């Protein structure tokens, strides 16, 4: 009997993000265990492309004896191929942000989140095992009717933070001022506007020699960035830095000069930067929402108020009391030790063994012309990407007056 192959499929493999770290970690664990394992993607960061294969190749690589680990964070063309192939499937759910966070800010992403959440439901009967990368995500899967469910823990790889910090940043910003840090994409569910309001109250009331460092990409969210910059200007807040996307050396520098990590996010599936702050021994003050309390695991400081002066007073209490500061960092060290003690390889391989022993599910039901429609869809997508003008040359729909010029009466 041939050994099954265990492949992974996902829409996008990003460089330095939480999903990317987990995908590469899973591949390493499977390879160490002797499994052949490829990563099929729709898109990948150019620095990771050499580690991936194009998702249409999955059609030829699939086999009923294989297991396909499907990372689900948004609906995609890769996801639809994954649904239709005959492999057993383990779904790893990384959470989909509720679309209402992006209304009026990023309409395309709002639509993708809505479609993704709707598409997720069709996998209930398709997957053999549904895994959340946090207990919060597992509970959401369970509420949607997935069974069985379990947690494949996020065990972050901190090697990207063990590099030499960027010297320009440390020389410029490692001074006598208090540095408050947030790391994450500049997107609405992170509630960056609240971070700014809390920092403004802290700066105005407790410590004028303080700065706020907002580290993360805002690509695609320039409209949201503009509203945040307008908020900073209207409040009169000083020393607020938007870094944009940063390198590992730059990220390491920002963590090393930070005095406190402040998070106001309203929706997180896990929030890796929190445990990165633990690793760098920076006290974390975070809003108690979604997966954040579980990620904190009894460490750091959670708050539930949205009153700026109250949060500012909490921040000042941590920063002005050395004994409290040290006690918080010590608790965070304990929480991080518990997280890192989890045997990721053993847990993953246990789930693989569980799926291999389960009765096979029926072949996924797809329309008789699914593959023809998929091919046509791919061709149309390519044309839209590279020759968008041809879509403007399509004839008007029947009954439509589009394109019809009527003579204007004098």
Using one digit for the tens of pLDDT, what is the confidence trace for 302-329? 999 999 999 999 999 999 999 999 999 9
pLDDT at 409: 46
- CATH superfamily to which 159-340 belongs: Glycogen Phosphorylase B; (3.40.50.2000)
pLDDT at residue 74 greater than cutoff 90? no
Average pLDDT over residues 258-271: 96
Residue reference for tokens 């002005």: 320
* Helix runs in 33-89, H state only: 58-61, 77-84
Query: Hunting for tokens 């539930």 — which residue is that?
Result: 304
C-beta pairs of 285-291 under 8 Å, 24+ apart in sequence: 285/260, 285/261, 285/311, 285/314, 285/315, 285/318, 286/261, 286/262, 287/191, 287/194, 287/263, 289/265, 290/136, 290/265, 290/266, 291/95, 291/134, 291/135, 291/136, 291/137
Instruction: Tell me the two tokens of residue 296.
Output: 């904190």
Q: Is the pLDDT of residue 379 over 80?
A: no
The pLDDT mean for the chain works out to 90
pLDDT band with cut points at 50, 70 and 90 for residue 385: low
What distance in Å separates the CA atoms of residue 154 and residue 22, rounded to the nearest whole number? 7
Q: What is the pLDDT of residues 203-243, one digit of tens each?
A: 999 999 999 999 999 988 999 999 999 999 999 999 999 99
Q: How many CB atoms lie within 10 A of CB 317?
A: 14
**Cβ proximity of 27 and 39 under 8 Å:** yes
Task: Give me the CATH code for the 6-155+343-373+379-383 domain, please.
Answer: 3.40.50.2000
- Report which secondary-structure segment, H or E, holds 71: strand 67-72
Average pLDDT over residues 155-161: 84
- Listed in sequence order, the residues at least 6 apart from 346 whose beta carbon sits closer than 8 Å to its beta carbon are none
Q: What's the pTM?
A: 0.84
Both tokens of 216, joined, read 């993360």
- pLDDT, residue 1, reads 55
Per-residue pLDDT tens digits for 353-375? 999 999 988 877 777 677 677 77
**Band of residue 2 on the pLDDT scale cut at 50, 70, 90:** low
- Residues of CATH 3.40.50.2000 domain(s) within the chain? 6-155+343-373+379-383, 159-340
């Amino acid at each position: 009997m041939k050994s099954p192959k265990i492949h992974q499929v996902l829409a996008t493999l990003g460089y330095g993000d939480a999903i990317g770290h987990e995908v590469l970690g899973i591949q390493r664990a499977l390879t160490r265990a002797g499994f052949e394992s490829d990563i099929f993607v729709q898109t990948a960061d150019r620095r990771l492309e050499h580690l991936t294969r194009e998702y249409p190749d999955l059609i030829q690589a699939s086999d009923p004896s294989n297991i396909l680990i499907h990372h689900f964070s948004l609906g995609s063309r890769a996801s639809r191929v994954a649904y239709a192939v005959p492999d057993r499937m383990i779904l790893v759910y990384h959470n989909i942000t509720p679309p209402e966070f992006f209304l009026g800010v990023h309409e395309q992403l709002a639509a993708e989140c809505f479609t993704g959440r709707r598409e997720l439901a069709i996998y209930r009967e398709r997957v053999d095992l549904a895994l959340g990368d946090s207990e919060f995500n597992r509970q959401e899967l369970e509420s949607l009717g997935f069974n069985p469910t379990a947690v494949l823990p996020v065990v972050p790889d901190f090697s990207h933070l063990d590099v030499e910090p960027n010297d320009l940043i440390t020389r410029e910003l490692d001074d006598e001022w208090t540095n408050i840090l947030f790391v994450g994409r500049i997107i609405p569910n992170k509630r960056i506007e609240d971070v700014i309001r809390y920092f403004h109250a802290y700066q105005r009331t407790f410590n004028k020699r303080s700065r706020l460092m907002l580290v993360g990409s805002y690509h695609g969210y320039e409209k949201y960035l503009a509203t945040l910059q307008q908020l900073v200007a209207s409040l009169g807040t000083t020393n607020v830095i938007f870094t944009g996307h940063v390198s590992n050396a730059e990220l390491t520098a920002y963590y090393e000069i930070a005095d406190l990590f402040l998070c106001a996010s309203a929706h997180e599936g896990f929030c890796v930067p929190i445990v990165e702050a633990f690793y760098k021994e920076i006290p974390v003050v975070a809003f108690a929402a979604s997966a954040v309390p579980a990620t904190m695991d009894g460490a750091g400081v959670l708050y539930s108020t949205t009153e700026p002066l109250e949060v500012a007073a909490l921040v000042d209490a941590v920063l002005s009391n050395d004994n409290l500061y040290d006690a918080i960092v010590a608790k965070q060290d304990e929480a991080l030790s518990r997280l890192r003690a989890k045997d990721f390889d053993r847990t993953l391989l246990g789930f693989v063994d569980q799926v291999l022993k389960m009765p096979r599910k029926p072949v996924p039901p797809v329309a008789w012309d699914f593959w023809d429609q998929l091919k046509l869809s791919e061709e149309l997508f390519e044309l839209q990407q590279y020759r968008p003008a041809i879509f403007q040359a399509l004839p008007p729909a029947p009954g439509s007056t589009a394109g019809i010029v009527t003579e204007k009466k004098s």
